[in-house]
């Protein structure tokens, strides 16, 4: 039975004949949680594609930016099946080989100063742990985030999320302060030659933080690429200057690599390009290839001190063996198959194709990204403001033509397509996606 489960034929679809009802009928028993649901029921996913019945759709968002190696990756699927039968879930105080192996493998890839790891389920949970760790270590409570950040939907992680999700719920956790997110395309901070002056912007922001602080600054949390903020790439040297500001104030630097790690941004880790080692690193999405798995990694120094201060983050699924086995397999495949380089190559190819399209359509205001993380900002050419209506029309047309390309539809930052396909994607699939982009512009704009 086990062997048959692991080697299940892909043609035996679980939901092959599932009815494609209208959206209202599909949603009648569901509680809304934010997004506008796609008017289709997804019945199968494989590689770079998802399927709604017989309709084949190229998935340019890797599910929720998570299936780094594509859907249904055979080795990952086999790992899940094997551990589901033999070593799935344990008492939280017990250790298992997958946990020990993943901890050794992960810290072995990281620079000195990131030697101790714990494994959780979601990015929100990892950031909760990272923030609590920083507060315990410093004895302080104020946390600084970027103005277009997204770190989670739970208490402390939501309180330092500024892109959306703060309204109509009463006070956030006290002590949260905000820095302006670095936006090369839109920032008002400019040098005399017109280039982006992010150094002055950051210094100005910290001046405001110092004015607002009650003298209890604990940490800054930041993403190397602000994905939900519109795929904003941190300028070169940004993290180094940020850490300088942290050290001046006795703060820790937390880097949230939920989407950027393990090759997604064209490097094994996004912070590497900045020549800085964070005090605390959080990982999620890409580590589990769609399975709920996250990690918090820090230094021996921080781990030892917080242990003496009775740091507690004891959850039901901490250090679970099954997801840790998946994380270990994901890392093996990324390195073995040289997928970091493929991410760089395919990302460059996609942006070059969209740059050609930009020459035809000045509604494409900006193209930005690293590796297989790309933002395409749709604007009104007359005002340069985000054109959310046009972007929505384009997104709907793309879906109609067989491409799922995530569009940020919230008022805070509308009009940006977030592109993040699996890093296993082929040249042919990239070109297919680019051609659907082009066809969508042609049909919507003429």
Catalytic residues: 150, 223, 256, 259, 285, 418
Q: Work out the angle between the directed axes of helices 74-86 and 321-336 (0-180°, nearest 10).
A: 160
Rounded Cα distance, 270 and 373, in Å = 11
What is the four-CA torsion angle of 404, 69, 33, 80, rounded to 10 degrees?
140
| Beta carbons within 8 Å of 133's beta carbon, 6+ residues apart | 280, 296, 298, 302, 306, 311, 313
> What is residue 378's three-state secondary structure?
strand
Give the single-character DSSP code of 386: B
Estimate the crossing angle of helix 388-401 against helix 427-445, to 10 degrees: 130
Quote the tokens at residue 441. Answer: 């512009």
Contact 126, 282 (CB under 8 A): yes
Place of tokens 């193209």: 367
The answer to whether the beta carbons of residues 375 and 366 sit under 8 Å apart is: yes
Q: CA-CA distances (angstroms) from residue 28 to 21, 22, 52, 438? A: 11, 10, 19, 36
In Å, how far from its chain's centre is CA 215? 31
Q: Which two tokens stand for residue 124?
A: 């929100």
């Amino acid at each position: 039975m086990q062997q048959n489960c692991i080697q299940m034929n892909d043609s035996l679809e679980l939901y092959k004949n599932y009815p494609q009802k209208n959206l209202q009928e599909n949603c009648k028993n569901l509680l809304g949680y934010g997004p506008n649901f796609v008017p289709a029921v997804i019945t199968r996913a494989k590689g770079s594609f998802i399927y709604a019945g017989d309709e084949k759709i190229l998935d340019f968002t890797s599910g929720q930016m998570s299936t780094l190696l594509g859907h249904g990756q055979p080795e990952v699927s086999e790992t899940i099946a094997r551990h589901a039968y033999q070593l799935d879930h344990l008492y939280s105080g017990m250790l298992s080989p997958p946990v020990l192996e993943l901890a050794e493998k992960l810290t072995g890839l990281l620079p000195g100063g990131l030697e101790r790891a714990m494994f959780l389920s979601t990015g929100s949970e990892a950031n909760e742990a990272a923030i609590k760790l920083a507060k315990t270590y410093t004895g302080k409570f104020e946390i600084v985030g970027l103005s277009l950040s997204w770190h989670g939907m739970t208490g402390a992680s939501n309180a330092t999320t500024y892109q959306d999700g703060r309204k109509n719920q009463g006070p956030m956790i006290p002590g949260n302060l905000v820095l302006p997110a670095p936006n090369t395309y839109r920032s008002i901070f400019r040098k005399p030659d017109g280039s982006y002056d992010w150094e002055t912007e950051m210094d100005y922001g910290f001046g405001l933080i110092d004015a607002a602080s009650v003298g209890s600054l604990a940490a800054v949390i930041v993403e190397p690429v602000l994905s939900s903020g519109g795929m904003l790439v941190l300028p070169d040297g940004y993290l180094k200057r940020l850490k300088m500001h942290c050290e001046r104030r006795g703060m820790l630097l937390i880097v949230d690599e939920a989407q950027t790690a393990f090759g997604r941004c064209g490097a094994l880790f996004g912070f590497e390009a900045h020549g800085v080692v964070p005090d605390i690193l959080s990982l999620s999405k890409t580590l589990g290839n769609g399975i709920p798995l996250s990690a918090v990694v820090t230094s021996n120094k921080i781990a030892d001190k917080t242990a003496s201060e009775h740091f507690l983050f004891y959850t039901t699924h901490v250090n679970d063996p099954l997801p840790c086995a998946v994380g270990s397999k994901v890392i093996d495949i990324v390195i073995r198959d040289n997928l970091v380089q493929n991410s760089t190559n395919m990302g460059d190819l996609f942006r070059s194709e969209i740059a050609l399209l930009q020459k035809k359509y000045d509604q494409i205001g900006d193209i930005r990204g690293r590796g297989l993380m790309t933002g395409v900002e749709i604007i009104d050419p007359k005002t340069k403001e985000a054109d959310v209506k046009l972007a929505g029309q384009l997104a709907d047309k793309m879906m109609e033509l067989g491409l799922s390309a995530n569009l940020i539809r919230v008022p805070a930052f509308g009009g940006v397509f977030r592109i993040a396909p699996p890093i296993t994607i082929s040249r042919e699939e990239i070109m297919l996606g680019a051609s659907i982009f082009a066809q969508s512009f042609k049909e919507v704009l003429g």
